[in-house]
Amino acid sequence: MTGGKHFVTDPKTLVRDSLHGLTLANPHLSFDEQQKVIFVKDLADLRKKQATLFCGGGSGHEPAHAGFVGHGMLTSAVSGHVFASPTSSQVLSCLRRVYSEEHGTLVVIKNYTGDVLNFGRAVERFKSERVNHGKPLPKVATVVVDDDVGVVNPNDDDEGGVGRRGLAGTVLVYKAAGACAAGGGSLEQVKANAEYVISHTFTIGCALNAASVPGTGLPRSLQDNEVEIGMGIHNEPGFETKELQPANVLIPSLVDHIVNSAQFKSVCSGTGRVLLMVNNLGATSNLEMGLVTKLAAEAVQARGFALDRTFTGTYMTGLAMPGVSISLLVLPEDGSERNSLLALIDQPAYCPGWINKSVVADAGSTDECAKGPVVQIKPEGDPAWEKAISEAYDNVVDVESQVTHLDQLMGDGDCGQVLLSGATAIREAAQNTQLPLNDPPAALASISSIVEDAMGGTSGIIYCLFLDGLAQQLSHLNANDNGSLTPKLWGKAMLGALDTLYQYTTARPGHRTLIDALHPFAQLLAETGDLSAALDAASKGADATADMQPKRGRAVYVQQKERSADAGAVGLVAVLKGIVKSLQ
């Protein structure tokens, strides 16, 4: 869960410092530090060519709003303190700066009381000062975004009320209106596009916890097993706190809440064509965002809606809130109108917060190439191999807890379980006669594939590379049947396999890895053919790692607190002991 720690010099200057950093990274932007206004650097020319538009609000929702300033979206954005509306004087300064005498200006307002009042007063002040100076009323239009369907005030009526909150759907308003303005649309057309998106976009969010505010901390906390549905981007309470469900249950329920809402049904009867936006509220990993996007898209389509566009990313946050919001924009039924709106959405925008989609023609399937050549394998059992695999498995079971403990001292603690997972998968394949055990190179190649699927991690790939190399060496030595194999030949092949492995790792004997057990085993076996002596050398090599300074692997970064052998080397010796035992 998100705690109360932040990268902060002074909470009072955080907003200005952050906006200054934004301009450093985006040279197309300029910054009015006093009024906390971000605007396009070529504003003086731009407002002569097109209608301009701006928005703003409290900080803490980045990239909204300043991150969407650029050609094709907002002309400017004005920022208040964290979670607090900018003052009407700030908004007025921004309006004065961006106002287009010839084409007019659209003011986009999120539906929060402070924003509506401060932006509204700024517009009225602007009108008054123009008239008082003998100028005609300015061509200024306003729209208020209220896409939230998570928390709807039951006391609102036909005469008005607090209304629904402005959430991530606001960004789609920027996109459609900004693209229209950039394309030469009149103020009336820009406003009309904004109003369509506003009236046809519906959003709901959920969060695993509230967000910590710099200088203040967490206002409240949810339990580890709770999720809040409808939590606002300023930590406002949602409409339901409940037990956290699996994502494949939770996310479809959010889609259901949208499509079953009275607001959604008022513009979409039954099915239709929609645009989906999945928004990261600030602290959800990209890995989880991919899952949420998949589940949301599947849920939308399963409910009979055609999904014309899908957007996913960080658009409007609540600082580092661990949560997501889902927005659906109902597209026009008329095909021409729908294509016009989608063209505005698809038009590139040049600002840090919006990711333009790449359009690439499908050049056909490459699936067959990805599969590689077909390898014909005829599974067949072999008593000697099956016994060796079984003995090795039993030994791994016996040492798993020891290997896990050793890895906990110097690593991430998964080495024992990973090794056992691989040994289990190999034993099951042998028991089910799924391996070509009569063909040593093919058997090793098959075991390598099983290890890759079952083990993972660094130790898994090291085993795979070694087994791949071993299979190649046996083929090179024409050892294609079990009768042709001798201990010395195995040793020679193992040394060759080590050469293969050494092409991809710098680990060598003395570096405190499983190589310290594997190398002496292979070398002595190749020289003498004595399995017991080779095993003894491997055991001594593993024991010697207790006195070595780690030079490879995760242990390099961990301070050694007690004398202990390398977990990988100990695990490998267990495997080798089982194999040697089966052959004696």
Dist. CA 40–CA 23, nearest whole Å = 10
Record the tokens describing residue 515, joined without a space: 């190589």
Record the tokens describing residue 573, joined without a space: 């010796």
> Could you say which of 234, 257, 511, 519 is catalytic?
234
Dist. CA 31–CA 36, nearest whole Å = 7
Dist. CA 524–CA 544, nearest whole Å = 17
What is the amino acid identity at position 317?
T
Which residues sit opposite 119 in a β-bridge?
A: none
DSSP calls for 459-486? HHHHHHHHHHHHHHHHHHTT--SGGG--
Is 234 a residue of the active site? yes
Q: Rounded to 5 degrees, what are φ and ψ at 411?
A: -145, -145
SS3 330: strand
Q: Rounded to 5 degrees, what are φ and ψ at 509?
A: -55, 135
Q: What angle separates helix 187-200 from helix 335-346, to the nearest 10 degrees?
A: 100
Alpha helices by DSSP H, 99-246: 113-132, 169-182, 187-200
Give 267's DSSP letter: T
Q: Which residues contact 514 (CB under 8 A, 6 or more apart)?
A: 459, 462, 566, 568, 569, 571, 572
Dist. CA 178–CA 162, nearest whole Å = 27
Q: Which residues contact 527 (CB under 8 A, 6 or more apart)?
A: 488, 491
Give 28's DSSP letter: T
For the CA atoms of 475, 478, 480, 486, the dihedral, rounded to the nearest 10 degrees, stands at -110
Alpha helices by DSSP H, 70-186: 88-98, 113-132, 169-182
Q: Which residues contact 72 (CB under 8 A, 6 or more apart)?
A: 178, 179, 182, 347, 348, 349, 350, 351, 354
Q: Rounded to 5 degrees, what are φ and ψ at 459?
A: -65, -35
What is the amino acid identity at position 513?
T
Dist. CA 257–CA 250, nearest whole Å = 11
Residue 334, CB-side half-sphere exposure with 13 Å CA sphere: 4
For residue 487, how many other CB atoms are within 10 A of its CB? 16
List the catalytic residues: 234
